[in-house]
Amino acid sequence: MAYEELIENGKATRFQTGEQQAEIASQGGIASGESRRRKRTVKQAMDWVMSLPVSDAKMKAKLKKMGIDGADNQTAVIVGLMGKAMQGNPKAAALIFELLDDEHASTNEQTESHNALIDAIRKRNNED
């Protein structure tokens, strides 16, 4: 679209001065920094909580039965996620495969295999 068409079609089109653009960019940079700091703080808090020992008695017993002593919350979450996947939850299975693929470079064959398994779980759940 030509410049004249922009002016003619959209009288509301505004052009910022260099000073205004610099101010807007500065505000965006400040907001971005605040957002990054907030995310970092939340991640640090989550890492700390996940590293704490399991406090739920039922989960402790379940982990102990599996041969896992002194587990942290991260282990408990993984065991819970695995349980959901084994019960046929396709989202849980997909998340497990996604986490595994992030850690290990997956091949197309592995990805196709994972997707086929997830599709089979979904199909089975729809039949029930």
CB 54 within 8 A of CB 71: yes
- In this prediction, residue 52 has a pLDDT band, given cuts at 50, 70 and 90, of very high
Show Cβ contacts of residue 117 under 8 Å, excluding neighbours closer than 6 positions: 93, 97
Question: Tokens 């991260």, residue?
Answer: 74
Each residue's pLDDT tens digit, 86-119? 898 989 988 888 888 765 555 666 677 777 777 7
More confident residue, 100 or 12: 100
CB 101 within 8 A of CB 111: yes
Token pair of 96 as six digits: 């497990």
Chain centroid, CA 114 distance in Å: 18
Q: What is the DSSP letter of 52?
A: S
CB 87 within 8 A of CB 93: no
> Taking residues 62-74, what's their average pLDDT?
90
CB 125 within 8 A of CB 88: yes
Instruction: Report the C-alpha gap between 63 and 53 in whole angstroms.
Output: 12
Percent of the chain scoring above 90 in pLDDT = 38
Instruction: Report the C-alpha gap between 58 and 83 in whole angstroms.
Output: 14
Instruction: Report the C-alpha gap between 85 and 125 in whole angstroms.
Output: 12
- In this prediction, residue 11 has a pLDDT band, given cuts at 50, 70 and 90, of very low
CB 90 within 8 A of CB 121: yes
pLDDT at 71 over 70: yes
Model-wide pTM > 0.75: no
